Amino acid sequence: MIWKLAWRNLWRHRGRTLIMGSAVAFLYGLTLLGLSINDDAHGRMLQEAIAAAGGDVLIHGDGYWDTRASDRVIRSSDSALGRVADTEGVRLAIPRILISGLVSTSSGSSSVYLQGIRPELEIELTDPADDLTHGSFLSDERTDPLVLGSGLVDLLELELGDRVVLTASDPEGELVRALFHLTGIVETGVRALDETVGYTTIEAARDAVAMEEMLSQIGVLAAEGVEPGPLAARVSAAVGTENALEVLTWEEAVPEMVGFVELDDAFGLIFMLVLLVVVLFSITNTFLMAVMERVRELGLLNALGLRGREIGRLLIAETLFLTALAMAAGLVLGYGGHLAVSHFGISVAAYGLEEIEISGVELSDLVFYSTIIPSRWLAASLLVAGATVASALYPAVRASRLAPAEAMRFYE
Amino acid sequence: MSTGIRASAAIIGPREATWEQDALVRVRGLTKVYRQGELEVPALRGVDLDLAAGEFSAMAGPSGSGKTTLLNMIGALDRPTEGWVEVAGHRANDLRRGEAAEFRLDHVGFIFQAYNLVPVLTAYENAEFTLLLRGVPSGERHRTVVPLLERVGLADMMNRRPPELSGGQQQRVAIVRALATHPEVVLADEPTANLDSATSGDLLDLMLELNIEMGITFLFSTHDETVIKRARRVIRLLDGRVDRVEVRETG
Amino acid sequence: MWRSTQTSSPVVGSEGPRADEIPGRGTLTSVKLALRNLLRNRWRSGLTLAAVAVAVGLMIWMLSLYEGWLQEMVRGATSVETAQVQIHSASYVESPRVYRSFAADSVLLQRILDVPEVLSASPRIELAGLVGDEDRSQVARILGVDPVRESETTPVADAVTAGRWLAPLPRPFPAAREVVLGSGVARQLQVGPGDELVTFLEAADGSLGNELLEVVGVVQTGNTEIDRNALYLHLSDAQALGALEGEIHEIAVRTEDLARARETAVAIAEAVGASSATPSPASVEGGLVVRPWQEILPGIDQMIFVFRRSYWVLYLLVYILAAVGVLNTQRMSALERRREFGVMMAIGMRPRRMLRTLLVETAVLGLVGGAIGCAFGTALSWYHATSGLDMSLLARETTFSYMGVSFSERLYFVLRTGNVIQPLAVMVAVAVVSGLWPAIQAARIDPAPTIAGRS
């Protein structure tokens, strides 16, 4: 009975239902859309961070990650690599040699971050060959291949096939020079990367800096559903302590990125909560007005024998219906927005912004898309629903206490 | 007491041809049909009426006889379906909304049943509201409104707001508001409907005094005997027509 | 009594001036009426005022937060590394090569310093090289600077966290050359003041440069590019190392106003007879180019542009919700007062004036609510501008870099007058617009049926 009355009341006051409902629907839809755009951006940032770090879990010589010191290497790397690969939950262990050095040609020299890699393994994380614009990516028969970023190639006025000298420090601290031939050029779109990045094969890199039997890094990819934390613990146990290695999860490796995402999320939450307050004020107001406006009608119900509590319940029932309707509309709005954004994307590049550096991770391709994380949508839904219903509580209490005679006086 | 009541002798029926040449209000062939969905509801079916300056007249009749409709037409609050209305030589029909408002401000004073006043304004502010709308400077408004408020016996209540005034006092404020602009005619739609008979009598006596002292023309719509008793001319309406007109001597 | 009044007061007739024609007069009363009407239902007005105030306060706070973020970014990026304006040879701008230098001419420097808005200028050399000791080595950005001029131009000397800044004059040979390291380089090489290093690099003439260095200080500037890679060295030592005697690569200029860097760059270019624009490849023939920081760091400039654009998205989100509140209140209020409006119009109020009265009411609502919002939004932003926002309340890890600028723990907001006034002004406009519909509806009331209670 009360429910039927509540439902009909909602349709009788269409203008009010529409205005109130639209405020809730608008807020809810926007919240959902904002959440999924943010979550998508953050997900991609963290993905980029994992790729930039080199894996879900990273193994180095102790202290390497912090100092990038050329003498902190993984010695007896074959056994370490084998043990890591056999650890439960490890999908793949990727060996790397990382060299920070100078590349020189006749027209000058420039710093380079050279990675000695196995291309066929790197594909499992991210394929650096995707950015190849000229030549080949470490696939020809040369023993001293070198792929450089396009910025570096321009800086050194290089052409494919040119000789390039690498100067770097070997693990013993000796300066070594090694000859490479430029076989490929990559362009990532991020200027800072293109001016420093270089790739060669792991064998050529080992030759260049005298690191036979050694590695700079083992990047570990987790199997499906395996969390990096527990995996790092198992890997750490597997490699043992005798080799003086450090084992880091990617979150430990790029804590700044994780911090930035947390901070960005926190600001988003503050923004949303304050907006919710704005909406709650207007909803409470409207409910209160609805009560006053209908004081005579409610007085009539009272006179007909409906008790105060039931009148309060009637208003709560109306609120529940209204909230349900509004949130259904908001869901359509939010989901529609999500579909549109995830299909078309919102490009920031249109305003000339092409790359952002956050905590050493370069983000290019600045187009926002949208990803739904169901648990986050659910949390937002509960928050909006709870707050809306809560905002009707005071007016409902007020209505239930309103005696008809007093009601009339209040109205005038 | 010297103000003459020139039209008092005239008995004007619906089809009689003895028109007053200098009538203040002239109504001719006034017809009003309201539409209620498919239904056409005639409210006035051809009313002719003349009102001379200084009259104190009442339109009486049962509910639905067209009293209020006729009053609204004279006050340019409603548009006739056919016919026309003239107040002091100014047409009251076929005006645009803004023009109608101006017409009312310039020529007509209104007193309604109840809730006549703006609740957030004091008695004084309500009384001067029409002058304010005319753009009369505040000193002049004061000089006009204060004596009137004193005259109607509200000297001590000028700063009270409507909820703090009795129904009779509220209507007195409405009278001052209506008179402040020196309108040609004051239209009062059931001004005593919400008042007890003693208060009604006092209010009407006051209006009658003002009518005599200042020569203000009053036209009431009512079915209250206290009003009809005091009216010098009673226009009886029935089913949207003038049924008969009674002229009496009152004292 | 009446007669005397009549004679003393001028006749008020239809020929008298209309309220609508007297400027200010009608509005004044409208404001009074509006205030009284708003006070009439305190609950309703109070809640709406609160919604408006929170919206305005939120906008002020967000704008101050963003401006603080942007300022931090610009300052972090420009103060140490680029300064506000830089001068290079045109070919160096095209592609930086060691040999694309120009003469360190004291006349040239003086001309730059004579430009009114220039505070100081620092000539520099920049070389890429390896530095290290017997255990390890790292790539470094070797910056040759005049210690005095550099510390006048940038706050680098204030950023010293260990040891000291370079002495005004280089040491006599054969002592090791003084260097100051970026904190990241020092950490990676695990060295500090007193430690010796060796550098190795390719000089401008293609020869291999080699020098013994002694660390005298470590700087942490907040600019990641400097902190991770920089090695400061005396200008003359760097010239010797790079075989660039008497030559420099750039002059960094500190100006009075960061925001006017473009204009200052033009003024400097005129003073030294250089080009003030980024050269096209065809024009690269030598000669100098003067560029403001916006051209040197286009990413930061675009970031500011995008951020400021996004303010309107914020306005849209926040104010639409506030507008719905205002619309609602005014609609309710107008519904409740229909009869009153009917009476007012019956006694001669023109619909246009009715509309205006109601719009004034919404404007007052927006203005009062907005003023309250301004007060607490400004107070909160001011608090965060002076004491900073403790970001560790919001995230576990608060040391991160963004666009090459390190942020840590506290973010200091920037409160600008414009960012207080704009949210208020936009709110008043939004309130008036959202009050338009209820006001138009009220002005369209047909007085007769409204008074009779038939509608």
Residue A339 tokens read as 């579909």
Asked whether the beta carbons of residue A275 and residue C58 sit closer than 8 angstroms, the reply is yes
Asked whether the beta carbons of residue C399 and residue A256 sit closer than 8 angstroms, the reply is yes
Q: What is the pLDDT of residue A185?
A: 93
> Given CB atoms, is A347 within the 8 Å cutoff of chain C?
no
Give domain status of residue B128, yes or no.
Answer: yes
Q: What is the mean pLDDT of residues A291-306?
A: 69
Domain count, chain B: 1
A280-289 b/e (C-beta count within 10 Å ≥ 16 → b): bbbbbbbbbb
Give domain status of residue B18, yes or no.
Answer: no
Q: DSSP letter string over A361-372?
A: EEE-S-EE----
Type of residue numbered C136: R
CA distance A385 to A395: 17
> Given CB atoms, is C47 within the 8 Å cutoff of chain A?
yes
Question: Which residue out of B2, B70, B105, B194 would a mutagenesis test of the C interface target, given it has the greatest number of C Cβ atoms within 10 Å?
Answer: B105
Asked whether the beta carbons of residue C321 and residue A275 sit closer than 8 angstroms, the reply is yes
pLDDT per position as a tens digit, C15-49: 444 444 333 344 446 777 888 888 887 878 888 89
Smallest Cβ–Cβ distance between C397 and the set A16, A109, A256 belongs to A256
> Given CB atoms, is A167 within the 8 Å cutoff of chain C?
yes
Asked whether the beta carbons of residue C396 and residue A259 sit closer than 8 angstroms, the reply is yes
* Total Cβ atoms within 10 A of residue C274: 21
Chain A CB contacts of C391 under 8 Å are 263
CATH number for the domain that contains residue B94: 3.40.50.300
> Given CB atoms, is A241 within the 8 Å cutoff of chain C?
no
- A369, with CB counted inside 10 A (0-12, 13-18, 19+), is middle
Backbone torsions φ then ψ of B230, nearest 5 degrees: -90, -15
Q: What is the pLDDT of residue C211?
A: 85
Residue C310 tokens read as 């996004």
> Given CB atoms, is B151 within the 8 Å cutoff of chain C?
yes
Q: How far is CA A236 from CA A54, A83, A239, A246, in A?
A: 17, 10, 5, 8
Q: Which residues have CB under 8 Å from A29's CB, separation 6+?
A: A329, A330, A331, A332, A333, A334, A337
For chain B, residues with pLDDT lower than 70 are 1-22, 115, 249-251
Asked whether the beta carbons of residue A267 and residue C317 sit closer than 8 angstroms, the reply is no
The count of CB pairs under 8 A between chains B and C is: 112
Name chain B's partners: 3 or more CB pairs within 8 A: C
CA distance C307 to C68: 12
Q: What is the mean pLDDT of residues A336-360?
A: 78
Give domain status of residue B20, yes or no.
Answer: no
Do A123 and A241 touch, CB atoms closer than 8 A?
no
Q: DSSP letter string over C171-198?
A: PPTTSPEEEEEEHHHHHHHT--TT-EEE
CA distance C303 to C403: 9
Do C146 and C122 touch, CB atoms closer than 8 A?
yes
Q: What is the pLDDT of residue B21?
A: 53
* Total Cβ atoms within 10 A of residue C194: 10
Asked whether the beta carbons of residue C448 and residue B136 sit closer than 8 angstroms, the reply is no
CA distance A329 to A24: 9
Type of residue numbered A179: L
Asked whether the beta carbons of residue B118 and residue C344 sit closer than 8 angstroms, the reply is yes
Name chain A's partners: 3 or more CB pairs within 8 A: C
What is the residue extent of each domain of chain C?
24-74+301-452, 97-248
Do A76 and A245 touch, CB atoms closer than 8 A?
no
Residue B85 tokens read as 């209305």
Q: Which residues have CB under 8 Å from A189's CB, separation 6+?
A: A131, A354, A355, A364, A365
Give domain status of residue B9, yes or no.
Answer: no
Q: What is the pLDDT of residue C407?
A: 77
For chain C, residues with pLDDT lower than 70 are 1-29, 275-286, 453-455
Å between A160 CA and nearest CA of chain C: 19
B-proximal residues of C, 14-43, CB under 8 Å: 14, 16-22, 25-26, 29, 33, 36-37, 39-40
pLDDT per position as a tens digit, B186-219: 999 888 888 888 889 999 999 999 998 888 899 9
Asked whether the beta carbons of residue C347 and residue B105 sit closer than 8 angstroms, the reply is yes
- For chain B, what's the residue count? 251
Residue numbers of the domain that contains B74: 25-247
Smallest Cβ–Cβ distance between C51 and the set A102, A281, A358 belongs to A281
> Given CB atoms, is B155 within the 8 Å cutoff of chain C?
no
Do C145 and C80 touch, CB atoms closer than 8 A?
no
Smallest Cβ–Cβ distance between C395 and the set A16, A154, A262 belongs to A262
> Given CB atoms, is C96 within the 8 Å cutoff of chain A?
yes
Smallest Cβ–Cβ distance between B133 and the set C10, C19, C40 belongs to C19
Q: What is the pLDDT of residue A281?
A: 83
The count of CB pairs under 8 A between chains A and C is: 208
pLDDT per position as a tens digit, A219-246: 999 888 888 888 998 888 888 777 788 9
CA distance A212 to A210: 6
> Given CB atoms, is A111 within the 8 Å cutoff of chain C?
yes
Residue B222 tokens read as 């009512």
Q: What is the mean pLDDT of residues A192-204?
A: 89
Kindly report the average pLDDT of chain A as a whole number: 83
Do A61 and A101 touch, CB atoms closer than 8 A?
no
Q: What is the pLDDT of residue B19?
A: 45
What is the residue extent of each domain of chain A?
2-50+257-411, 63-243
